[in-house]
Structure 1
Amino acid sequence: MSTTGTPRPGPLDRWYEAAGVRTGVRRVFHEESEQGLVFFPEELVPYLDHPAVGELAPERRRELTVRHLYQFLLSTTHLEARVVNAGAAEPIANGRVGLDLTPELRLDAFKVYCDEGYHALYSLDLAQQIAGATGIPVPAFDYGGFVEQLAEAGRRQLPGEPVLAALLQAVVFETLITSVLNQLPGDERVVSTVRELMRDHAVDEGRHHRFFAGLFQELWAGLDRPLRIRAANAMPGLIHAALDWDLDPVRGSLRLAGLDRPTAEQVVRDCYAGPAGTVSLNRMARATLKLCASVGAFDLPGVRDTFAAHGLGDGTEDPR
């Protein structure tokens, strides 16, 4: 596939003037000015309303919300560096994906690489600041199991196509709708440092969404029909892998809050499966589904049935 030709305006054209890593400031938590605010809204913690969790003391519930924030921040540090950067941004930037790429696109990929590394840095930085201020330790989860789970999903869905699988996985990650980034910046109940960091991240990710959506369309145009069919039928599995929570940190947090192992397992089963999970899946994947529709993926043999078998529509539904 060739992407050479006249350069077109792109989402990263003003990166030197607009990117957070170029223009932002370090977000520093000031405990004395944040009294009475929360680190993470209770309604965004899926298991906090579970009856078994509702019986916990208020301080244990507060710790659960803080550790839930840690999970978001730590998953960012790992997935941005180990999935998006290692699997897509760096190989694209260095011309290692078997595509005839324009110099502009390769430079844009390095801009994404810088952004994602910065997101990883400031997410870990804020987690450590909050741990120091609250005395609630950052749990020692390295998310390596989840990263390997993603890699295995790529091998399973697209055997023999490791580069394509990694690129599609990055496209999925960068086009998902993350409710945390959308909702937290405007929630004045939340400490300002967390809101500001989420706002910084969301602004950068808006540009990345457009970059990876454009990359997907270019990539798709260069696939022959048999590989398009394989790629389209692989997408539901890749979406599921990206949106399947790494539940070990959830279990660990519930155990730290005082629940025994069987009760923690029951909470996880109740809160991360079933119809509610399917609705959430379609809501978060809606932009990715529309991207698939934009290239005609659902018109290929078997694709609608494959998406339906995974509980996914084509992006035209209104998931509520």
Structure 2
Amino acid sequence: MNALDYQSFADLWEDRATIRTRPRRHVENDERLIYPLSRQPLVLSAIFQQHCPHLRDFALVQSLYKFINDVVIFETEIVDRTARSIAKDRFAIRFPFACRYDAMTVVVDEDYHALVAMDFMQQTIALTGIEPIALPLEIELSRAIPAAIAQVPEHLRDAVELVCVGIAENTLTNDVAAFSRDDSVKQSIKGLMADHLLDEGRHSTFWARLVRMYWQGASEQDRECIAQVLPVFIGQYLTNDIQKAFDFELIAHLDVAEAVRQALRDEVLGMAFPINRQHPLLGNILRFLRSNSMLDSPCVQQALADYLPPRSTS
């Protein structure tokens, strides 16, 4: 794809963007879960089930707060920064006006998603009476993107930022899709995720197009340089250090004996996925790299050899 082939989604945004078309979502006071059990495996552990099953809803509410906090950081500090820079033509990679216009709709969408998430947190606090524990000040991307950028020459920093944000947006889209299909949670939560997904599907396509436009015009030397830092980004992005720290903070707020707390901490330590080709998020990353032609490049294949499915020897 080159700049002349780019088709703006301005009309689609006018007709379907959630900021234009969706009513406010209200949290229901019903018996459904406020957060999926599958997304907080601590509450499914044998230790938790045996010693403090009555604290399940407290743990799930706190996990929802962390999810909302992550969304706000991601939308306002990560995606907004890159999209706004592109929209205002302050990005090192120059894009045509149609791209910059679409980037501004992404800015509007993402800030609106953050606003809706904060509203949902306020509603949940009012409904449950449960105040948030200390929430993380950053997400994995807050570390992963700077770590990757730090290892490339200055003229490639914006390109690396673009690729990293594109990966993250596409991974988020798949994550939100799974969340929106979970029938165990409150309908308002499912609706919130479905609204988010409607916009994120458009965003994921936008970022894939921009990365493809850049990659097709990049020199082989620049491609090789960017390929070399992809494992750095992936390693930082897929770590569970921040989630582990949050789970430890959550455990510290449970009204249980210290021996139970330690047993729960031990459970958390065993929950991390190894960062290899079996990691559940890696498939989303590889699909994105295929969709924008990056994975067609031998330098990317070589850099990510440890993450790619083994080739058949038959």
**1:106 pairs with 2:100:** yes
User: Which residue is equivalent to 1:48?
Assistant: 43
Q: 1:200 aligns with which of 195, 198, 216?
A: 195
The CA deviation at 1:242 is: 2.9
Q: Give the whole-Å Cα distance in 1 for the aligned partners of 2:57 and 2:64.
A: 11
List gaps (5 residues or longer) in structure 1. none
User: Which residue is equivalent to 1:279?
Assistant: 279
The CA deviation at 1:178 is: 5.1
Q: Give the whole-Å Cα distance in 1 for the aligned partners of 2:298 and 2:109.
A: 35
User: Which residue is equivalent to 1:19?
Assistant: 17
The CA deviation at 1:288 is: 2.5
Q: Give the whole-Å Cα distance in 1 for the aligned partners of 2:172 and 2:74.
A: 16
Q: Give the whole-Å Cα distance in 2 for the aligned partners of 1:208 and 1:314.
A: 28
Distance 1:265 1:114, change over 3 A: same
Deviation string, structure 1 residues 10-54 (Cα, Å, up to 9, x no partner): 4454111110111111112232xxx22111121232333333333
Aligned length: 306
Identical residues among aligned pairs (%): 24
Q: Give the whole-Å Cα distance in 1 for the aligned partners of 2:77 and 2:221.
A: 29
The CA deviation at 1:202 is: 0.7
Q: Give the whole-Å Cα distance in 2 for the aligned partners of 1:73 and 1:44.
A: 13
**1:307 pairs with 2:301:** no
Q: For residues 164-313 of structure 1, what are the structure 2 equivalents within 5 Å?
A: 164-176=159-171, 180-245=175-240, 246-247=242-243, 248-258=245-255, 260=258, 262-274=262-274, 278-291=278-291, 294-300=293-299, 303-309=300-306, 312-313=307-308
Contact between 2:289 and 2:295, CA under 8 Å: does it hold in 1?
no
The CA deviation at 1:203 is: 0.8
Q: Give the whole-Å Cα distance in 1 for the aligned partners of 2:253 and 2:209.
A: 43
Contact between 2:144 and 2:234, CA under 8 Å: does it hold in 1?
no
Contact between 2:84 and 2:107, CA under 8 Å: does it hold in 1?
yes
Higher mean displacement: 250-259 or 61-70: 250-259
Q: For residues 25-64 of structure 1, what are the structure 2 equivalents within 5 Å?
A: 25-31=23-29, 35-64=30-59
Contact between 2:86 and 2:103, CA under 8 Å: does it hold in 1?
yes
Deviation string, structure 1 residues 37-78 (Cα, Å, up to 9, x no partner): 111121232333333333332231221122122221110001
Residue type at the aligned position of 2:143: Q
Secondary structure of 1:182 counterpart: helix
TM-score (norm 2): 0.86
Contact between 1:92 and 1:109, CA under 8 Å: does it hold in 2?
yes
Q: Give the whole-Å Cα distance in 2 for the aligned partners of 1:28 and 1:92.
A: 34
Secondary structure of 2:106 counterpart: helix
Distance 1:57 1:275, change over 3 A: same
Higher mean displacement: 145-154 or 171-180: 145-154
What's the C-alpha RMSD, in Å, of the aligned pairs?
2.8
Deviation string, structure 1 residues 204-237 (Cα, Å, up to 9, x no partner): 1000010000011011123211110111222232
User: Which residue is equivalent to 2:71?
Assistant: 76
Contact between 1:153 and 1:238, CA under 8 Å: does it hold in 2?
yes
Q: Give the whole-Å Cα distance in 1 for the aligned partners of 2:186 and 2:132.
A: 18
List gaps (5 residues or longer) in structure 2. none
Residue type at the aligned position of 1:174: E
The CA deviation at 1:137 is: 1.2
Secondary structure of 2:25 counterpart: coil
The CA deviation at 1:266 is: 2.2
Q: 1:143 aligns with which of 123, 137, 144?
A: 137
The CA deviation at 1:276 is: 9.2
